[in-house]
Amino acid sequence: MVEDKYALRRFDAQSEGAIDRAILEVIPFDYPDSATEVVYETDEFTAVCPWTGLPDFARLVMSYVPGCSLVELKSLKYYLTSYRNVGILQEHAVNCILRDLVALLKPVSMTVEVEYRERGGIKTTAVARYEGE
């Protein structure tokens, strides 16, 4: 009988409580009625599988029409980096990011798209949208 040496192997992953929402900062946007679309993009978004702890690498694109606030970019970088060791489903990560940024910025609209690199023959893209009230 061949023993499955991978059956009990996993890497430790942090809980969603490790996501650093407190680091996020806003700066004023002086043109709230301009319908300006702001797009931030990174190919360096990472989190980990909640079951195995194996890394998920992704391209993240966030676009929004701001109300009166913009997210300060250094704080956004630190916030996104805080996902690095968090065990979170891919579909949950995109919604978590959207929820946190909508609560912070109160934008007119926002879309967060995360395109995960292929793993195990499957590529995942998750898109979450917010349309203001």
Tokens 């360096």, located at residue: 44
Q: What pLDDT, on the 0 to 100 scale, is given for residue 88?
A: 97
The domain 16-131 having CATH identifier 3.30.1130.10: the answer here is yes
How many whole angstroms separate alpha carbon 88 and alpha carbon 55? 10
Asked if 59 and 41 touch (Cβ cutoff 8 Å), the reply is yes
Q: What pLDDT, on the 0 to 100 scale, is given for residue 10?
A: 67
Residues marked as catalytic: 49, 56
Name the pTM for this structure: 0.90
Asked if 38 and 70 touch (Cβ cutoff 8 Å), the reply is yes
* Amino acid (1-letter code) at residue 61: V
Ordered by start, the domain boundaries in the chain are 16-131
SS3 call for 77: helix
Q: What pLDDT, on the 0 to 100 scale, is given for residue 72?
A: 98
Asked if 43 and 80 touch (Cβ cutoff 8 Å), the reply is no
Q: What pLDDT, on the 0 to 100 scale, is given for residue 6?
A: 64
pLDDT < 50 regions, the chain: none
* Amino acid (1-letter code) at residue 107: P
Q: What pLDDT, on the 0 to 100 scale, is given for residue 52?
A: 84
